[in-house]
Amino acid sequence: MEQAFFLLIATVAVGAGIMVVAARNPTHSAMALMVCFVQVAAVFLLLRSPILAVIQMFVYVGAVIILFLFVIMMLDVQAEARTRFLKKGVTVTIVGICLLGGEMLALLLGSDLLFAQSANLLPDQMSSVGGLGEILFTEYLFPFEVASVILLTALVGAIILTRQAEEGR
């Protein structure tokens, strides 16, 4: 039964993710992103981790989507939405997307993760903040640090781009 729910939730999440990219209206794109975030929270519930689900709902659905909607309202994105996004290299882009999708599908079908029954984490480790922190900082410390470096790089890049745009005015 859980696998059927997961397939339903995953299908809706992937469909919403495609709508985020494909929607021409930025407000519709933000709403599709919200649906995708809610589906990720539902996956956390299926993994018996209600704390992560609540954090996902508060931080991403509650804060990030509101921020996106405020930015959309403040900027004149309707004029940009009417222009064609990909002017050159549409075929190269489509071929690249198909190659990456095929590679991802081949890796997924060749791995044991597709048919794995459950994670090796105990439910009490995933349902309490202490257990989650212990696992995060012991077993998953390196991926956590890599994610931190990626987010820091994105933050520095955004600051640099903003400063260059202000200096160009």
pLDDT (tens digit per residue) in 44-76? 999 888 888 888 898 888 888 888 887 777 776
What CATH number is given to the structural domain containing 52? 1.20.120.1200
Domain-embedded: residue 31: yes
**Model confidence band, residue 3 (pLDDT cutoffs 50, 70, 90):** confident
- Please state which of the ranges 77-81, 128-132, 160-164 shows the lowest mean pLDDT: 77-81
Q: For residue 158, what are the CA distances in angstroms to 55, 85, 109, 153, 163?
A: 25, 21, 37, 9, 9
Q: Whole-angstrom Cα distance, residue 154 to residue 86?
A: 23
Confidence of residue 26 (pLDDT cuts 50, 70, 90): confident
Does any domain span residue 55? yes
pLDDT of the residue at 27: 85
How crowded is residue 13: how many other Cβ atoms within 10 Å of its Cβ?
Answer: 18
Query: What pLDDT was estimated at residue 125?
Result: 60
pLDDT in tens, 147-165: 888 888 888 877 787 777 6
Domain with 21, as residue range(s), is 1-84
**What is the model's pLDDT at position 121?**
54
R_g of the chain, CA atoms, integer Å: 19
Q: What single-letter DSSP state applies at residue 56?
A: I
Q: Does a structural domain hold residue 26?
A: yes
Q: What is the per-residue pLDDT for 43?
A: 92
Angle (nearest 5°) at CA 80 between 74 and 86:
140
Question: What integer pLDDT is reported at residue 108 of this predicted model?
Answer: 74
Closest CA to 52 of 117, 140, 155: 140
Q: One-letter amino acid identity for 63?
A: A
pLDDT above 70: residue 122: no
Domain count of the fold of the chain: 1
* CA distances for 157 relative to 4, 37, 146, 161, angstroms: 41, 24, 16, 6
Residue at 28 is within a domain: yes
Per the domain annotation, does 19 fall within a domain? yes
